[in-house]
Amino acid sequence: MSATSRERFQSSLRRARKIAVLTGAGVSAESGIPTFRGAGGLWRRYQATSLASPEAWQRDPGLVWEFYNHRRERALGCRPNPGHHALARLEARFREAGGVFTLITQNIDGLHEQAGARDLVRLHGSLWQVRCLSCGSVTENRGVPITPAFAGSGSPDPETRARRFTAAELPHCSCGGVQRPHVVWFGEALKESDLAAAAAGVDGCDLLLVVGTSAVVYPAAGFVPLAKRHGALIAEINVEPSAVTSLCDFVFTGGAGEILPSLLDLAPALAP
């Protein structure tokens, strides 16, 4: 990280009046949550992306719930890392200085919320919410296992003998309907209001930070070229190049938890 690019970035950050941040699984990697495209992208013999789909749910809802139950169990003990906290501090400081700050995340782990992020757009839903297939109600659910039938299930070991779950063993709504994870699966549309909030956050932003994403999933990744078209400066924080690195004005290579605390620490405070 050459001193000049760091100083150029920090003076852009000080001058910025509107900032947007797009995060992906990499921002939670140092909290112990596996990313999709790393080794963690595999569960048993399945690519995570193949289980995060309506087709997988149609085929075997019990297997999909085993996958999500495993991720909930794993995420339960995870805490925000210094990268999440640095972003939450920047948001608070920016807001105090009268700036506009939007954090757009592809993650469903809830760690940005735990770190105190306020103006958060969760493009892909939440690991901690379930949605009823009958009445559509969305409820918080932090139960691990998701139902007693899933106790001890979900091992990622490819040798694990698959078991079928009956419909009765799946989580149910008070209306009697079966509940699914309240996340956006591949092939499912994102909520219009979330897309609109993200677009509003990127529209006219001076600076877009792109943190810990391979930027291959759309429409989320599309916010990077959109910001570029609107004249924003783009800064990427990642351990390796991504699909949008070529669009970036600043590229800081390393872990988000390592880099963000000092990179975003704007003492003295932001220009009023």
Choose the one of ligand BV8, Zn ion, none that binds residue 132, judging by a C-beta under 5 to 8 angstroms depending on kind. Zn ion
Are the C-beta atoms of residues 106 and 220 closer than 8 Å to each other? yes
The encoded tokens of residue 101 equal 């700050």
Select which of 84, 112, 124, 182 is catalytic.
Answer: 124
Supply the Cα-derived Rg of the chain in whole angstroms: 19
State the binding string over 127-156 for Zn ion (x if CB under 5 A, else -): -----x-xx---------------------
Does residue 253 touch Zn ion according to CB under 5 A? no
* Shorter beta-carbon distance to Zn ion: residue 173 or 205: 173
Choose the one of Zn ion, ligand BV8, none that binds residue 151, judging by a C-beta under 5 to 8 angstroms depending on kind. none
Does residue 177 touch Zn ion according to CB under 5 A? yes
φ and ψ at 151, to 5 degrees?
-60, 130
As a residue count, the chain comes to 272
In 173-246, where do the E strands start and end? 179-183, 207-211, 233-238
Closest of 128, 126, 123, 131 to residue 193, by C-alpha: 123
Are the C-beta atoms of residues 205 and 19 closer than 8 Å to each other? yes
Angle at 182 between CA 155 and CA 236, to 5 degrees: 85
For residue 112, give the H/E element and its range: helix 111-114
Does residue 170 touch Zn ion according to CB under 5 A? no
Q: Which stretch binds Zn ion (CB under 5 A): 1-9, 83-91, 114-122, 124-132?
A: 124-132
Tell me whether residue 70 is one of the annotated catalytic residues. no
Choose the one of Zn ion, ligand BV8, none that binds residue 129, judging by a C-beta under 5 to 8 angstroms depending on kind. none
Closest residue by beta carbon to ligand BV8: 26
Write out the residues near ligand BV8 by the rule CB under 6 A: 24-26, 29-30, 35-38, 52, 106, 108, 124, 183-189, 212-214, 216-220, 237-240, 242, 255-256
For residue 177, give the H/E element and its range: none
Q: Which stretch binds Zn ion (CB under 5 A): 71-79, 86-94, 177-185, 196-204?
A: 177-185
Closest of 271, 100, 99, 254 to residue 263, by C-alpha: 254
Shortest reach from residue 241's CB to ligand BV8, in Å: 8
For residue 150, give the H/E element and its range: none
Choose the one of ligand BV8, Zn ion, none that binds residue 199, judging by a C-beta under 5 to 8 angstroms depending on kind. none
Q: Which residues bind Zn ion (CB under 5 A)?
A: 132, 134-135, 173, 175, 177
Task: Give the active site residues.
Answer: 124
